[in-house]
Amino acid sequence: MKIKKFINKKNKTKIVALSAYSKNIASVLDNYCDLILVGDSLGSVLYNYKSTREVSLNTMIEHSKSVRMGVKKSLMVVDMPHNTYRDPKEALINAKKIISKTKCDAVKLEGGQKIYKIVKNLIKYNIPVMGHLGLLPQSEKTFKFKGQKKSERDKILQDAKLLQDAGVFSIVLECIETSLAKLITKEIKIPTIGIGASNNCDGQILVLDDLIGLNNINVRFVKKYSNVRREISKAVASYAYDVRKKKFPLKKHSY
């Protein structure tokens, strides 16, 4: 039902999505988002891994269990990490594990034609799947936007149609050229969710840590809405000052 409602937003209202990795943050996002993704971006954002390829299934599950506690109304999607969906059987075992342990609503997999049969099989077993095309962090060495070459554009569009045919309920389009995002969004019936893919998509997703300025990154597709690093710094500086000057704790903070 939640997924049907989500799909129905296409052509009616822009879809708001964010990646989050823990309960307290997720509970705030839940008031504003249609979809919350436990993204494997947590590998670089939280664990300083060189790539998302190092993220394990257990790490995804533990963070997702935390996020689940904060999400009441949004659709909750969990990334299947690298090397957990190399064939239909492996994908099914791992997707079932993610869903049963985290109670998420769906899983997200990166890729097009290569994972067609895998996606189709998951859906056959009633596991809702979100697709992910364009820049694919699990399989790429360099992070360049996609869709300049005609062959690349044709392939991404064809993959989007294939994923739709396999039964995904939505597709993330990461770092693709503006007119390609427009074309895909027009050509498919399910919502496209863009990150670095222009406002031609049906919705947008960002990593929360990036948009609040907690993560120290500067990339073109992120707009910083806040400077949380500065706010934390101010609070911690005041706390440190108070402790050193014996202004904290006071009697009212003591038993």
Catalytically annotated residues: 174
Question: Minimum distance between the CB of residue 6 and ligand KIV, rounded to whole angstroms?
Answer: 15
Q: In the complex with ligand KIV, which residue's Cβ is closer, 21 or 126?
A: 21
The piece of 34-42, 116-124, 218-226, 235-243 that touches ligand KIV (CB under 6 A) is 34-42
- Residue 78 CA to residue 104 CA, distance in Å, equals 7
**Window 9-28: residues binding ligand KIV (CB under 6 A):** 19
- Residue 178 CA to residue 181 CA, distance in Å, equals 5
Q: In the complex with ligand KIV, which residue's Cβ is closer, 41 or 164?
A: 41
Query: Which residue from 74, 114, 73, 70 is spatially nearest to 91, judged by alpha carbons?
Result: 114
Distinct helix (H) and strand (E) counts, the chain? 10, 8
Among 15, 16, 29, 41, binds ligand KIV (CB under 6 A): 41
Question: Minimum distance between the CB of residue 127 and ligand KIV, rounded to whole angstroms?
Answer: 18
Interaction between residue 84 and ligand KIV (CB under 6 A): no
- Residue 121 CA to residue 195 CA, distance in Å, equals 27
**Window 163-222: residues binding ligand KIV (CB under 6 A):** 172, 174, 195, 205, 207
Give the distance, in angstroms, between the CA of residue 85 and the centroid of all CA atoms in the same chain: 17
Establish whether the linkage from the previous residue to 249 is cis, with ω within 30° of 0: yes
Ranked by CB distance to ligand KIV, the top (closest) residue is: 39
Interaction between residue 39 and ligand KIV (CB under 6 A): yes
DSSP sequence for 36-68: EEE-TTHHHHTT--SSGGG--HHHHHHHHHHHH
Among 15, 37, 173, 197, binds ligand KIV (CB under 6 A): 37
The piece of 4-12, 33-41, 114-122, 241-249 that touches ligand KIV (CB under 6 A) is 33-41
- Residue 83 CA to residue 102 CA, distance in Å, equals 19
Interaction between residue 79 and ligand KIV (CB under 6 A): yes
Beta-bridge partner residues of 203: 15, 193
| Contact status, residue 191 vs residue 9, Cβ threshold 8 Å | yes
Q: In the complex with ligand KIV, which residue's Cβ is closer, 36 or 122?
A: 36
Q: In the complex with ligand KIV, which residue's Cβ is closer, 225 or 239?
A: 225
Q: Tell me which residues touch ligand KIV (CB under 6 A).
A: 19, 37, 39-41, 79, 172, 174, 195, 205, 207
